Structure 1
Amino acid sequence: MGHSSFDWSCELPNRKSYVSAQPAQRAILIVRPDSAEEERLSIPVAVGRMLRQQSKALDVHSRAELLYELKRCAESCAWEKVCSLVSRRDYSSKELDDRLKRNGYTSSVRELVVKRALSCGLIDNDRFASAYIRTKLAAGWGERRIALELSHKGIELGDVPGWPEEFIDPDNEVDRALSLLERKSLPRGDAYGKLMRFLVSRGFRMGCARAAVERRLSEIEGNDQR
C-alpha cells in the first residue's frame, strides 16, 4: 500500500485467538520508509479495519501523511464507538474516556470526542449522576457507597446539583436502613455485628447503621416477648 518510495500495511488480530478476559486486541500499522527501519504502531482494531478498507483510495506518500489519515480514522472510529455505547445506556465523561483508552485510542483523540459528546448533549455528567443516585438509592445503597462509586466514574457527590436536598432526607436515613434490615431474616450468631456489616457495606454511615440495627433488634425482641 502506498507510493513506491513509501509503503505501509495493517495487520488485524486473529479473532479466534481472542479471550474476553484479556485486554482489548490491537491492530498493527506497519510503516516501511525506504531510508529508515520498519516501524510498527499499535492502533485500535476498528481504526486498522477502516484504514485497510480505504487503502486503495488513500494517496499517502509519507509518514506524516499516513499519520494524518490515521488520526482522521481514529477520530471517526472513536466517535462511532461513543455513539454505540451511549445508545445502550448513559455514561459519564470519565467512563467514556476509560472505555476508549481500553480500546487503544490516544489521549488527544479521546479528549476530542468526549468534548464533542459533552458539547452536543450526548452525555451530561449532571444528568448521569442524578439518574445514578436515584437508581442506587432505590436499590438500598447508602450515601458513602454512592459517593465512592461516583468518584470512580469521575464525579464527586458534593458537586452534583441538588445534593442532598433533592435526593434524600438526612432525617430519614435510619428509617431507610431499617427497611433494608426488615427484609432480611435475623442471622445466627452475632446478629448485631452481621447486621452492622451489612449496612456499612451498603454505604450507610456507622451512626445510622447502629441506630437502625438497634431498632431492628429491639423490634424482634419485643415481638418474641409477646
Structure 2
Amino acid sequence: MDEREGQFDEAVEAAYAQALKLLVRREHSRRELARKLVERDHPRPAADAALDRLEAEGAQSDQRFAEEYARARFAKGYGPRRVEAELREHGIGPEGMAHAALERGEERSLAAAQLAKRFGDAPPADARERAKRTRYLQQRGFDPEVCARLLRDAGNPEEEAGF
C-alpha cells in the first residue's frame, strides 16, 4: 500500500467516525450527511466511501430516516404534501416517500385535529372564514380536496362518515 492509499483510508475512517457521531444524535439522510461531512472538511470521495460503508452496515438508511421524519412532522400537525416536499429537500426519492405516506382517512383526521386545535369546533361562520381555514390547512400541507370536503362537512356531522 502506497502513501496515497493510506491517506485515503485515514480520510475515510475520519469521515466514517464523524458520520457515526452525527447518526448517534438522530437519523440523517444520505444527502444531509454528505453535506455535513464536506462542510467539516472531509474530502468528497472519502465521505462517499464512508457513507457507502454506513449504508452497507445498516447504520444509515434513507428509508428509516423518511419514516422517522414523517412520523415526527405528522405528530406536529403537518400534512403529507408538506412532508413530501421536505423529504425531497433531504434527498429522499419516491421509494422512500412510500414508507412515509398517510392513508386518506388518516390525512382527514389529522387535518380535522389541526383545524380544531387552531379554530375550535365551531363551523366556519361565512365564506371568508372558510377560505381562511382552507388556506391554513393548505399551508400546512393538506390536500385541497381533503380541506374542501372537511370544511363543507363541518356543519353536517352525518355526512362525515361518508368520506
- State the TM-score, normalized to the length of structure 2: 0.77
Aligned to 1:174: 108
Letter in 2 for 1:181: L
Counterpart residue identity of residue 95, structure 2: D
Which AA in structure 2 matches 1:198?
Answer: Y
2:16 to 79, 94, 100: 79
Equivalent residue, structure 2, for 1:144: 81
1:92/1:125 contact within 8 Å kept: yes
In the alignment, which residue of structure 1 is the partner of 2:96?
160
Deviation of 1:105 (Å): 2.2
d(CA) in 1 for partners of 2:73 and 2:85?
Answer: 12
CA–CA distance in structure 2, aligned partners of residues 160 and 77 of structure 1 = 28
1:81-120 to structure 2, matched below 5 A, reads 81-120=18-57
- 1:210 maps to 148
Distance between the aligned counterparts of 1:141 and 1:199, measured in 2?
9
How far off its partner does 1:145 sit? 0.9
Q: Which runs of 5+ in 2 are unaligned?
A: 157-163
Residues of 2 paired with 1:71 and 1:205: CA distance? Answer: 48
Residue 199 of structure 1 deviates from its aligned partner by 0.9
- The one-letter amino acid of 1:126's match is Q
Aligned to 2:161: none
Instruction: Answer 1 or 2: higher relative contact order, Cα 8 Å, separation at least 6.
Output: 2
Calculate the TM-score normalised by the size of structure 1.
0.58
What residue identity is the alignment partner of 1:159?
A: E
SS at match of 2:117: coil
Identity within the alignment, %: 24
Task: Give yes or no for the alignment of 1:200 onto 2:138.
Answer: yes
Structure with the higher fraction of residues in strand conformation = 1
1:143–1:203: 8 Å Cα contact kept in structure 2?
yes
Q: Which has the larger radius of gyration?
A: 1
Secondary structure, counterpart of 2:69 in structure 1 = helix
| Secondary structure of the corresponding residue to residue 91 of structure 1 | coil
- Shift in alpha-carbon separation, 1:147–1:161, aligned structure 2, 3 A: closer
Total equivalences in the alignment: 151
2:92 and 2:24 map into 1 onto residues whose CA distance is 21
Distance 2:59 2:110 in 1: 34
Distance 1:188 1:103, change over 3 A: farther
Aligned 8 A contact 1:181 1:213 in 2: no
Report Cα offsets for 1:121-156 as digits up to 9, x if no partner.
111122221222222222222111111111111112
